[in-house]
Structure 1
Amino acid sequence: MCRFIETIRIDGGVVRNLAYHERRLNDTRTHFWPESTGLQLTDFLPPIPENGRHRLRIVYGRCGIEEVTCTPYILRPVRSLALISANDIGYTYKSADREALNQLFAQRGSCDDILIVRQRLLTDTSIANIALFDGKRWYTPQHPLLKGTKRAELLDKGILTEKNIRMEDLPSYSTVRLFNAMTDWGELELSVRHLQPIF
């Protein structure tokens, strides 16, 4: 049975980007189950913690919301990325089944995370979208594995520009940023020198 997840940030009692998460959830349900009705996530929110950063995980499927959990969140530092080729991987929808991603992550060696390369194009890390800085603008891969909610927000605000970024383009960039629903823009950043090819 197909199960999908939304991971939502709660910060100081504030639920972040709920509209983006709700849109993706309903788009996913419409794709897999065209007969499904739209859901409003506000109907399923648990008591919201007033202090600190928390991770709200919503699991859903054909019949609707199946599980809601809320746990404290601690940011995992990323200082290096292993470039790993996976030409056939797909993760268009945020599935609860992350086995393919976990298998790639296990190949990271001494690096903190992986950066997946598909058909010579950069995509995502195991848990985050990316953007690269060329000295003037921030570019994000045009075809990521998953179109994240934070990515959608940054595109809507004009902070990011979509672009195909090839392996051989990396010398044109100085910095890579990682971001997702749980991570602020600019919170995780490293030099492109810390990207290590592992093929």
Structure 2
Amino acid sequence: MSNPALYNFCFETICVENRQIRNQSYHQARINRTQQALWGGIKTIDLGQITIPDHITKERHKLRISYDQHIQQITWQLHHPRPIGQVKKVYAQGIDYRYKYEDRRGLEALFALREQADEIIIVQDGLLTDSFYGNLVLGDGTTWHTPANCLLPGTQRAYLIDQGVITPQIIREEQIQSYPLLRIINALNDWEHAPTIPLQSVV
């Protein structure tokens, strides 16, 4: 859940594996863009200067950085993948999450509508956008599309687009049944680790 004390900040969630920051350049670029847009071009955060504590092992860890003009909080947590069975479509209006805001109350309200499902697909203006925890990728096992109008362009999404693995595409709600498979990606769930979910699991 969001921490009200941090609502004026943004945050970055980063995968650290083998005591190395994964996709560092993509995270650095997003932090730079965010500081440029929200805080007048101040760029004070250099991920290359982050010291990895001695207790962090080679296993996959989540590094979470809360920041504004400067780093406000850093936390470390061993990553535990979330099992995803059923996914529920929910409908949003006017959600703006172009930057990774600490204030996620709008998204949390949508997530609360999932009932017995494990994740959500957010539909806004008739278009697929994102899930609660990451970006959507839909495909047939060979060709993969990601919604072009996602709420938040993720770092793993950007990396996979650059690698030619996925392609941005406008996907309308009624087109979802033309895709047999769904994947949900984020910094901790890269292409190798992201679950593949049959579309019949979407309700």
The TM-score range, normalised by the shorter chain, is: over 0.9
Q: Which range is displaced more, 75-84 or 182-191?
A: 182-191
**In 1, distance between residues paired with 2:35 and 2:125?**
29
Deviation at 1:11, TM superposition (A): 1.4
CA contact (8 A) 2:39 2:68 kept: no
Distance 1:156 1:106, change over 3 A: same
Give, in angstroms, the shift of residue 117 of structure 1.
Answer: 0.3
Q: Offset of 1:136 from its aligned partner?
A: 4.0
Residues 99-157 of structure 1: CA deviation (Å, up to 9, x unaligned): 11111111101100111001010011101101111464100000101000000000000
- Deviation string, structure 1 residues 15-49 (Cα, Å, up to 9, x no partner): 10111101100100000122413531122333262
* 1:61 counterpart letter in structure 2: D
Aligned to 2:3: none
Is the partner of 2:98 in helix, strand or coil?
coil
Q: Which moved more, 1:147-156 or 1:73-82?
A: 73-82
- Tell whether the 8 Å contact from 1:121 to 1:167 is kept in structure 2 after alignment: yes
CA spacing shift, 1:89–1:50, aligned 2, 3 Å: same
Structure 2 length as normaliser, TM-score?
Answer: 0.91
- Is 1:82 aligned to residue 88 of structure 2? yes
CA distance in 2: counterparts of 1:35 and 1:15, whole angstroms: 24
In the alignment, which residue of structure 2 is the partner of 1:182?
188
Gaps of 5+ in 1: none
When the two chains are superposed, the root-mean-square deviation of aligned CA atoms in Å is: 1.4
What is the distance in 2 between the residues matched to 1:169 and 1:152?
23
* 1:79 partner amino acid: G
TM-score with structure 1 setting the length? 0.93
Alpha-carbon displacement from aligned partner over 1:143-183 (angstroms, at most 9, x marks no partner): 10100000000000000111000111112110000110011
> Aligned partners of 2:184 and 2:166: how far apart in 1?
13
Contact 1:135 1:173 in 2 (8 A): no
Partner of 2:61: 54
Alignment partner of 2:112 out of 93, 106, 109: 106
User: Which stretch shifts more, 2-11 or 183-192?
Assistant: 183-192
Percent of aligned pairs with the same residue?
36
Deviations 1:40-80 (A, max 9, x none): 11223332623211100001002x11111111110001111
> Which is strand-richer, 1 or 2?
1
